[in-house]
Amino acid sequence: MTASALPPSTVSAHPVLPALTVRQYLAERREIALIDVREEDPFAHGHPLWAANLPLSRLELLAWTRIPRRDTVVVVYGEHDGIDLAPRAAQVLAGLGYTAVHLLEGGLQGWIDSGGELFIDVNVPSKAFGELVEARRHTPSLEAKQVKALLDSQADVVVVDARRFDEFQTMSIPTATSVPGGELVLRVRELAPDPATTVIVNCAGRTRSIIGTQSLINAGLPNPVAALRNGTIGWTLAGQQLDRGASRQAPEAVGEDNRARAREGARAIAERAGVRRIAPDAVAALDEPGRTLYRFDVRTAQEYQRGHLPGFRHAPGGQLVQETDHHAPVRGARIVLADDDGVRADMAASWLAQMGWEVWVVEPTGADARTAGGPASDAIPEAPSVQTVTPARLQAWCGDKEEDRPVILDVGPGVSYLARHVPGAWYAIRSQLAQALARVPGSRRYVLTCGTGLLARFAAQDLRELTDAEVWVLEGGTTAWMDAGLPVETGESRLAVPRTDRYRRPYEGTDNAAAAMQAYLDWEFGLIAQIERDGTHNFRVV
């Protein structure tokens, strides 16, 4: 039996690690990956500060990329609806070649009993760090009504939005320009060439506004700079209207004088933060036994795909700082960053170093060294062998008499299911297939699908352990179904299990309740006290 086909009753023989020992590893900055294998929504409702969310349902697709060294100390926990998922996850990890897998003693309750703090929401280390930065550096900010008054009076003000471009398009401050956080220091002088122009940085909530504003200050921008206090949440709570579908972006070209000043400022703050530098041909020496090394190119996706250093994955600098737990779940690992301008890698590295990481920056090189191109591919094991059905044949099956029709289970992301799915398909989560079978009609034939069909192949192997019925996978997944011009359904038409694979952020979208947005802000304000009680953060603001 392969690791991905473990039945729910499998008992793990993996050793346990006490919560106090895990906390000692974290406090001493020793390498450890604390993994929460629940879905994102339950994870977001309470987890240790440095826990990373790698759901059991997608573990084979995530583990090798996120935890690249197979002898990493990995500690696993995760209980869902009274079922402990950790033993199954430990077996999957062992089947993937990990040799130092442990269960967290007592699970999440054991963490609580040991005095450990639980944190809600996602990307908490970065958000807590942002609050600490504001408190220690007194990062300037303006309330929403102050910013609106400046805009209404046509003051000499430039508003820059530090979020991803897709977030900016969803909702934005009127007149704002999209400049994702990792690009701010490099590009802001193109938008505000006059040092007298006030630059206001916003995000949806607080963190990227604070980090973006302080980045400009740290890098020596001469302009007055301030964060929009509480971002688009604060703007909305003030009763002010947001734009929808804006498309303003900073110019791609950067003048040489502006680039040189940005490079000087970025290097200075990186040196103050303790960032180390390395030649491109020496990077391989950092990948030594017993140490995890993450290599990230922090430029834009377009630049990365045009050419990057071999072995480097793409992680835009601002998002890397915001979502460090996602990109680098092995706390205590080394991180090495690359760009082509000497600005963006230094700025991202300056923040990561202050967050307690050992960070190196590759000295900028010419284009001839960036010999790899296109998007990076994730490292995943070979998918199980399964019997597949073409879209046309599945459509024919669906036209059979009712008792002969297959039950279709869509194990892809919930948001994708909402957007479009095969007519009649039930939404299911792979790690909850037993619960899903209890909810859907019985059948002599099940067909599994997802976006491309890849995750469905792993799920099919699990499903065969739970039923004697035929198990098939839609060839090419739901994408192939749509490419064939076949009809689709939308919405939550059939949920075999609750849609908990993604946590709905209080700061995303445009229809959140005011009380939820205010509660989110109140939670952020309390993060400094919580990380101090926790004692594992190792943050150092310079």
118 is in which domain, residue-wise?
3-122
**Phi, psi dihedrals of residue 331, rounded to the nearest 5°:** -70, 135
Query: Which domain-ending residue is among 435, 453, 483?
Result: 483
* 96 and 180 both lie in a single domain: no
d(CA 232, CA 242) in angstroms, rounded, equals: 8
Residue 143 within a domain: yes
Neighbouring CB atoms inside 10 A of 11's CB total 7
Neighbouring CB atoms inside 10 A of 196's CB total 9
Q: What is the mean pLDDT of residues 304-316?
A: 96
Residue 111 within a domain: yes
Is residue 221 within 8 Å of 179, Cβ to Cβ? no
- pLDDT tens for residues 466-479? 999 999 999 999 99
- pLDDT tens for residues 143-166? 999 999 999 999 999 999 999 999
* 35 and 91 both lie in a single domain: yes
* 355 and 393 both lie in a single domain: no
| The pLDDT of residue 377 | 87
- pLDDT tens for residues 232-242? 999 999 999 99
Residue 2 reports pLDDT greater than 70: no
Residue 507 within a domain: no
Q: What is the pTM of this model?
A: 0.94
The DSSP-derived string for 210-232 is HHHHHHHHHTT--S-EEEETTHH
Residue 206 reports pLDDT greater than 80: yes
| The pLDDT of residue 9 | 34
d(CA 274, CA 182) in angstroms, rounded, equals: 19
Residue 329, CA distances (Å) to 28, 36, 120, 385, 482 in order: 16, 11, 17, 30, 35
pLDDT band at residue 505 using 50, 70 and 90 as cut-offs: confident
* 277 and 310 both lie in a single domain: yes
Residue 36 reports pLDDT greater than 60: yes
| The pLDDT of residue 7 | 36
Residue 4 reports pLDDT greater than 70: no
Residue 381 within a domain: no
d(CA 177, CA 105) in angstroms, rounded, equals: 49
Residue 11 reports pLDDT greater than 60: no
- pLDDT tens for residues 513-525? 788 888 888 889 9
Q: Tokens 């953060």 map to which residue?
A: 537
DSSP H helical ranges for 76-155 = 86-95, 107-113, 124-137, 144-152
Residue 494 reports pLDDT greater than 90: yes
State what percent of residues in the chain have pLDDT above 90: 90
| The pLDDT of residue 510 | 57
**Phi, psi dihedrals of residue 170, rounded to the nearest 5°:** -65, -45
Q: What is the DSSP letter of 429?
A: -
d(CA 315, CA 320) in angstroms, rounded, equals: 6
- pLDDT tens for residues 326-350? 999 999 999 999 999 999 999 999 9
Query: Which domain-ending residue is among 185, 213, 246?
Result: 246
Residue 495 within a domain: no
Q: Tokens 């594992």 map to which residue?
A: 536
- pLDDT tens for residues 253-296? 999 999 999 999 999 999 999 999 999 999 999 999 999 999 99
Tally the domains of the chain.
Answer: 4
pLDDT band at residue 401 using 50, 70 and 90 as cut-offs: confident
The DSSP-derived string for 368-408 is GG--B-SPPPP--PPPPP--EE-HHHHHHHHTS-GGGPPEE
d(CA 172, CA 243) in angstroms, rounded, equals: 5
CATH number, residue 393:
3.40.250.10
* 319 and 416 both lie in a single domain: no
Question: Mean pLDDT in the chain?
Answer: 94
Beta bridge partners of 499: none
Residue 508 within a domain: no
Q: What is the mean pLDDT of residues 444-453?
A: 97
Residue 513 within a domain: no
- The three-class DSSP label of residue 20 is helix
